[in-house]
Structure 1
Amino acid sequence: MPADRPTMPPVRLHPEAELARDALSAPLLARAARLARWAGTGVPVGVGGELVDKSLIAATEHLDLAGDEEGPAYTAEAWQLAVDTGLVEITEDEDGAAVDDAAAADLPDDAAVGTATPGEELALLTSGSPQDVLDIWLGGMETVLADAVAPDLSDIAEQLADGGELDLDALDWNPEEEAELLDGILGNLYLLSALNEVPGQDVPLPALAASMIVPDDMDEPTDEILEEVSAAMMRLDDQFRVLEPIGLVAYRPVDEALIEELDEDGDTVRAAEPLADEDVARYGMVRLTPLGVWAVRARMLDAGVDAPAVGDLADQNADTLLAALPDYPEVLAQAESEQWLAARTPLDAARDLLAAARGDDEYGPLRRLAAQQTLSLVAPEAEPALREVLDDRYLGGLARVWLAERGLPDIPEPSQDMVFWLTVDTIAAQLGDTDDAAAAELRELVQGLTEQHSGFFDEVWRVDHPATAEVLEVMGQLHPDKKAAKEARKAAFKARSRQAD
């Protein structure tokens, strides 16, 4: 295919209005919005904009989380998101303006140095456009992503105890590596979302971790690699627990009964339960939500990655459409074609597709196959366009197929040359597909062609098609009958000799 083919496979995005509703219903943003409205008359905050003790208690009660052991933590997290996304704005008190970082360390925990009130962004959640909502959510998601790759707070607290200093090396934490690993994991989930024909399929956490660690050429992972995978799983489990409340992923956490519990000396306090093969889901299952697919794509586009979405080609010409479709999974190729056709009349669409399908270049067969598949979706009103090309060497064969499939009358019989040319062109379009199922299908096609046409190899080598010799060579490799395979190789030699003359 052309060198500029998409870096990522296309994805099917949900409508923006639906994604905006998903964003508003994400637990973390929903709580942040509730707290921003609650702050209507002003809420005392500390140096970093955090809720002071009394305010945190009141906020936790406002969110109906007072009975939850983790309620204050959930509330603080939601409040921080409100601050980071502009749902609330902080005004420093007159006394608070003079507090610098050094002085802040000496303030009591419940010292208020500012006041929080609803910010301008809050109104956009209810009166703004879907894109406004998504922009606010996306900013919040970036904050959550940063939290997900942050080091364990308990480790930091231990270092800072008794006047200690923060030592990143001792934490065994590299922010760039952590962010890169999570980006890679999200990229893999995005790929799986694009390639899965059945939407919403969960991915086992062990498989996801292994995809980032186990080398592609390693048949059996070593014990060291397996330990790395296990450690990565536990890190991902923590990260996905952080990411799920913002609506980026749907996550079923690792069953804690499967995790060995150790004491301070490293001795086993509670052994992990044994796991049966059919219980692999207990090690965690994850997938990107529709909102997550949209978000990861947005980040890829910002990073300069070509990440197409179904519908991107609706306003492009037929040449662009046919160049892109061969890289699309079948289901998404059809969806893209349907949107492209919806913007045109059947007759105009058919004429544009047929014109773009011509050519003797190496990608011509793929374009014609894509054109044939797209034309199969075109309404019968396109019939005149197909009849106009019945005598065309490139298009006459596929035009006859289109007319015959619709049971239309007065279809002229094709010449033998046209039949053979179409045969070569059809096989040439499938040569680059390395999928096992596609290879088996091509093998059946090769066998069927030779059985239907006696003396097939005696004639086909004369076909004036750039791929004739290559097609015959592949037929010789695929044909299950040794005699026929030998005839195909001989025909390929004759075709190469003819082309060299």
Structure 2
Amino acid sequence: MSAESHPTLPPVRLHSDAELARDALGAPLFARAVRLARWAGPDTRVGIGGELVAARLPEAAAVLGLDAADAESAGYASQAWRVAVDTGLVDVTEPEEDGGEQSGTAAPGEDLALVTRGAPGDVLDLWLAALDTVLADAAVPDLDGLVDALDAGGEIDFDRLDWNPGREADFLDEVLANLYLLTVSEGGAADGRVPLPVLAASMVMPDGMGEPTDAVLEQVSDAMMRLDDQFRQLEPIGLVEFRPVDEELMAEAADEEASAGGSAGRDGGETRDGGDARDDEDVSRYGMVRLTPLGLYGVRARMLEAGVDAPAVGELAGKGADALLDAVAFYSEGAAQAEIEQWLAGRELPAAAAELLAAARGDDEGGPLRRLRCQQALVSAGPEAEPAVRSVLDDPELGGLARVWLAERGLRDVPAPDPEMVFWLTVDTIAAQLAADGETQELPLLMETLTAHHAGFFDQVWRVEHPATVHVLEAMGRLHPDRKAAKEARKAAFKARSRRP
């Protein structure tokens, strides 16, 4: 899986290993592999490569509760057997290739015991091995295409097939990476489901592309049907929940294409009442897919193996406050809150609050955002943080934060800040918001609120000894809703730049 496309991803909330292991054991394909591994014995015969000989497939299908006479059932049994062999649930002895034994033997593998007596992590390792097998199968084109591409010697002509195994594997990995990103990022589908056309477009359309051309739309359509086939294969291993493309929709599209030309302009693609017919269609007819909790675990595991930074909520629980604040600095607010709560759990809160405050110091570029996340963490720490907060009231970097925290709780004996601290805190607060979310629609209101109660604010703020003073004033010059104040901010930014060495 490529590490270049998504070098750093938002954190994911994973289920516990025990829950994930139960999901793995319940995945239909993995459960079938386990059943066949238990069935394997002295009479089980395999061919070159360890596949079940054709004569044993009906019996294997019956063991799985399938119709032994059905060809499709034989395919399910063959796939489950291949997974059992590849994961080590079954040990095979292949036949000799020099004309000796015509068939090999099979027996339950040592790893089969891990299914019932292993730790959850052992089960998940077996499932990940099964996932590798299924992904490799999903990257192979349909059998009809393979037959058509056989050359005179019975070998596959890859040029004729237009299929590159490595390219196909990379394509599927990138699809799963995009689906993962859409799942864990804010702004994705509320229920985690992603329309298949959206996922296909993410693979085909260049970033920033406006209205797609007909050629691009054709590529999206082709990619969508390719994904439809691949997700059908990935669902039985428990990686995704998938609603395939509606076959009736495909038939309708074929009819429309066949009738194009002579009937062009008859309806103009509109309903009789003038509305666009496609506007009324359920997007789910084009296919919907979501990663299961087990799927999130599996895709993330593959990303980590490829060197992609794919954090998970809870990973920082055993690390120091400096590592926590640095890591959550660019998390979404919800993810940061979840990580902070897990970090605080089990710690002595007064000591944890003191550690957070110490880690929040610093005049580096990341300082404002660390202090913002520190303030968020102190809210979760509750009243037990008060002694640590009061201890930094005189700190030039933390004193303003401490006063805000104490005042918000209605606590007494909170000393009034001096003007320098007010201005410094204002710059620090806006700098943190700019670093966290950029120039949002809410930021101008925050700027107006923070500056409204200070007469002559811009006459003094340019003198503030904060590394982000110029950056903040320039942003206020662009964003402040009051035109006069924005002009004053630009003048103040010029003065602040002029006094810098």
Q: Normalising by the residue count of structure 1, what TM-score does the alignment of the two structures yield?
A: 0.89
Deviations 1:47-103 (A, max 9, x none): 3322233321112122222076622211111111111112122235xxx42x34xx6
Ranges in structure 2 where 5+ consecutive residues have no aligned partner: 1-5, 260-276
* Shift, 1:390, TM fit: 0.5
Q: Which residue of 2 aligns with 1:52?
A: 53
Q: 1:312-461 maps to which residues of 2 (within 5 A)?
A: 312-433=315-436, 439-461=440-462
Paired residues of 1:45 and 1:112 also in contact (CA < 8 A): no
Counterpart amino acid of 2:483?
Answer: K
Pairing 1:84–2:86 present: yes
Equivalent-residue separation in structure 2 for 1:379 and 1:217 (angstroms):
45
Paired residues of 1:47 and 1:112 also in contact (CA < 8 A): no
Q: Which residue of 2 aligns with 1:75?
A: 77
Change (3 A) 1:6 1:383: farther
Equivalent-residue separation in structure 1 for 2:340 and 2:253 (angstroms):
57
Paired residues of 2:193 and 2:288 also in contact (CA < 8 A): yes
Q: 1:157 aligns with which of 135, 147, 152?
A: 147
| Pairwise CA RMSD | 2.6
Equivalent-residue separation in structure 2 for 1:376 and 1:114 (angstroms):
66
* Shift, 1:159, TM fit: 3.8
* Shift, 1:346, TM fit: 1.0
Q: 2:286 aligns with which of 283, 307, 320?
A: 283
Deviations 1:122-172 (A, max 9, x none): 111111111111111111100111101112222222344875432011001
Pairing 1:216–2:204 present: no
Equivalent-residue separation in structure 1 for 2:75 and 2:432 (angstroms):
58
Q: Which residue of 2 aligns with 1:108?
A: none
Counterpart amino acid of 1:290?
Answer: P
Three-state SS of the structure 1 residue aligned to 2:91 is: strand
Counterpart amino acid of 2:175?
Answer: I
Relative to structure 2, which stretch is displaced further, 225-234 or 376-385? Answer: 376-385
Equivalent-residue separation in structure 2 for 1:162 and 1:303 (angstroms):
39
Q: 1:200-349 maps to which residues of 2 (within 5 A)?
A: 200-260=191-251, 275-349=278-352
* Shift, 1:395, TM fit: 0.5
* Shift, 1:261, TM fit: 8.8
Pairing 1:177–2:167 present: yes
Q: 2:179 aligns with which of 189, 197, 206?
A: 189
Equivalent-residue separation in structure 1 for 2:253 and 2:445 (angstroms):
58
Three-state SS of the structure 2 residue aligned to 1:169 is: helix
* Shift, 1:41, TM fit: 5.1
Change (3 A) 1:455 1:422: same
Paired residues of 1:254 and 1:282 also in contact (CA < 8 A): yes
Paired residues of 1:42 and 1:117 also in contact (CA < 8 A): no
Equivalent-residue separation in structure 1 for 2:493 and 2:196 (angstroms):
49
Q: Which residue of 1 aligns with 2:271?
A: none
Change (3 A) 1:402 1:449: closer
Q: Which residue of 2 aligns with 1:107?
A: none
Equivalent-residue separation in structure 2 for 1:159 and 1:189 (angstroms):
32
Equivalent-residue separation in structure 1 for 2:258 and 2:499 (angstroms):
77
Q: Which residue of 1 aligns with 2:489?
A: 488
Percent sequence identity is 64
Equivalent-residue separation in structure 1 for 2:379 and 2:169 (angstroms):
45
Three-state SS of the structure 2 residue aligned to 1:10 is: coil
Deviations 1:423-453 (A, max 9, x none): 1110011223555xx6111111112223332
Counterpart amino acid of 2:90?
Answer: V
* Shift, 1:42, TM fit: 3.5
Pairing 1:19–2:20 present: yes
Relative to structure 2, which stretch is displaced further, 482-491 or 33-42? Answer: 33-42
Equivalent-residue separation in structure 2 for 1:328 and 1:434 (angstroms):
10
Paired residues of 2:369 and 2:436 also in contact (CA < 8 A): no
Equivalent-residue separation in structure 1 for 2:92 and 2:425 (angstroms):
71
Q: 2:113 aligns with which of 93, 99, 123?
A: 123
Equivalent-residue separation in structure 2 for 1:376 and 1:386 (angstroms):
11
* Shift, 1:25, TM fit: 0.4
Three-state SS of the structure 1 residue aligned to 2:130 is: helix
Q: Which residue of 1 aligns with 2:267?
A: none
* Shift, 1:291, TM fit: 1.0
Equivalent-residue separation in structure 2 for 1:88 and 1:254 (angstroms):
36
Paired residues of 2:87 and 2:129 also in contact (CA < 8 A): yes
* Shift, 1:277, TM fit: 4.7
* Shift, 1:267, TM fit: 7.0
Paired residues of 1:461 and 1:469 also in contact (CA < 8 A): yes
Deviations 1:364-414 (A, max 9, x none): 111111111111111312211111111111001111111122222211111
Paired residues of 1:258 and 1:275 also in contact (CA < 8 A): no
Deviations 1:17-55 (A, max 9, x none): 111001100000001111111224542223332223332
Equivalent-residue separation in structure 2 for 1:426 and 1:388 (angstroms):
21
Three-state SS of the structure 1 residue aligned to 2:242 is: strand
* Shift, 1:454, TM fit: 2.8
* Shift, 1:456, TM fit: 2.0
